[in-house]
Copies of this chain bind each other. A is one copy, B any other.
Amino acid sequence: MPLDVMGLFYFAYRDFVGDADALLERQGFGRAHHRVLYFVNLKPGMPVADLLDILRITKQSLARVLRQLIDNGYIEQKTGDADRRQRLLYATDKGRRFFEVLSATQTSRIEAAIAALPPDGKRTVLRFFVGMVEPGDRPTLDRLKLTEDLSG
């Protein structure tokens, strides 16, 4: 059994998400808020339904998180152009700035970890991650353009 991969995966992910925890808490936010900010920054104009698919939570769960982010001015909703039922989500300037602060430590951590790898190490790591994702979810990765560096 690949106990080493399992354990290191756990520690690495724990420390990775832990980077932002203190900052989030100051705002009364949790990891769910961070995830929403990440995906909305990644794909501005994402409709609520897509976010629900990605996060795999119920709309009631998302509602509270989204409400807090909107009320605090980090995210804004715009009525869809093609489909006026949709509420398209955008980070505000404030939201983008906050996301950058949240991500600063994570970014340093990732870049340092990759810099210590052999050439092409980042590509290997990304390929590993994609291989770990449920095949049914791979189209989602593509739609989010998370696999672009791997296609070429």
Contacts from A to B (Cβ < 8 Å): 1-16, 18, 35, 38-39, 41-42, 56, 100, 103, 106-107, 109-114, 116-118, 120-122, 124-134, 137, 140-141, 144, 146-149
CB distance from A108 to the nearest CB of B (A): 10
Interface centre among A14, A38, A129, A148 (most CB of B within 10 A): A129
Structural contact, B126 and A113, CB atoms closer than 8 A: no
CB distance from A104 to the nearest CB of B (A): 9
CB distance from A100 to the nearest CB of B (A): 8
Bound state CA distance, A28 and B107, in angstroms? 37
With contact pairs A15-B133, A42-B7, A110-B2 given, residues A125 and B125 touching in the complex (Cβ less than 8 Å): yes
**Which B residue's beta carbon lies closest to that of A134?**
B15
With contact pairs A10-B35, A118-B124, A125-B125 given, residues A4 and B148 touching in the complex (Cβ less than 8 Å): yes
Q: Which 10 A-B pairs have the closest CB atoms?
A: A113-B131, A8-B129, A12-B132, A12-B129, A15-B134, A7-B146, A124-B124, A13-B13, A2-B110, A113-B132
The dominant DSSP class at the A interface is helix
With contact pairs A116-B131, A132-B15 given, residues A6 and B103 touching in the complex (Cβ less than 8 Å): yes
Q: For A110, what are the chain B residues with a Cβ–Cβ distance below 8 Å?
A: 2, 5-6, 132
CB distance from A133 to the nearest CB of B (A): 5
CB distance from A118 to the nearest CB of B (A): 7
Bound state CA distance, A11 and B16, in angstroms? 14
